[in-house]
Amino acid sequence: MRVVSGICKGRPLKAVPGNSTRPTTDKVKEALFNMIGPYFDGGIGLDLFAGSGGLGLEALSRGLDQVIFVDRDPKAIQVIHENINACKFEKKTEVYRNDADRALKALIKRGISFDYIFLDPPYKNEKLVSLMEKMDQAELVKTDGIVVCEHSFDVILPQIAGRFTQTKHEKYGIIAVTIYSRNS
């Protein structure tokens, strides 16, 4: 596992030990960022269910200004910090150990809105649509902001969820990536 492109291209990333997370493969990561970028001219991102932090770090390497990482697993939080340090992104990141619902409540209280949100929840406990509905109601995503959902290939997500409209959907073996854009 590595950073695929940008200022940290080729930088190896540590994975979370054990079977609690499923890192996004380099092939899927590259395809995903080609769908939404591939590079960015600033912006703020949220890597919810961050695991090793690979998606958020890739986004920073490709030009986002800041990324907030959230995961509930203490091992994942440790690995995220190690990977952030390896990429020298300490000043561009915030890391929180929390579950997704509590993290969203805290972010709503802070009044933050994001240009990009990366959702890669455990496949056995997917709640992508309800998370997007909460994000929509709280306006956590800016108008024309992007939500990237990585999920099991056999999960069919709706074309519309609140003010989010599905713009792209691709399958990569047992993994699928669905991209939503937030309408005004």
pLDDT tier at 99 (50, 70, 90 boundaries)?
very high
The angle, 0 to 180 degrees and rounded to 10, between the axes of the packed helices 54-61 and 26-36 is 50
Query: Which pair of structure tokens corresponds to residue 116?
Result: 């990009």
pLDDT level of residue 118 (50, 70, 90 thresholds): very high
Cis omega (within 30 of 0) for bond into 38: yes
Q: What angle do CA 123, 178, 128 make, to 5 degrees?
A: 45
CB-CB contact of 40 with 14 (8 Å): no
Query: Would 20 be classed as within a structural domain?
Result: no
Could you tell me if residue 97 is inside a domain? yes
Task: Give the rounded percent of residues in the chain with a pLDDT score beyond 90.
Answer: 88
In a domain, 69, yes or no: yes
In a domain, 95, yes or no: yes
Mean pLDDT of 105-134: 90
| pLDDT at position 124 over 80 | no
Question: Is residue 3 situated within a structural domain?
Answer: no
What is the number of domains present in the chain? 1
Alpha carbon of 78 to those of 17, 27, 53, 72: distances in Å? 11, 25, 10, 11
Cβ atoms of 118 and 45 closer than 8 Å? yes
CA distance 115 to 119: 13
What pLDDT, on the 0 to 100 scale, is given for residue 24?
84
Residue 135 lies in a domain: yes
| CATH classification at residue 64 | 3.40.50.150
> How many Cβ atoms are within 10 Å of 28's Cβ, its own excluded?
19
In a domain, 7, yes or no: no
Residue span of the structural domain in which 167 resides = 26-182
Domain annotation covers residue 15? no
User: 156: burial class by Cβ within 10 Å (0-12, 13-18, 19+)?
Assistant: exposed
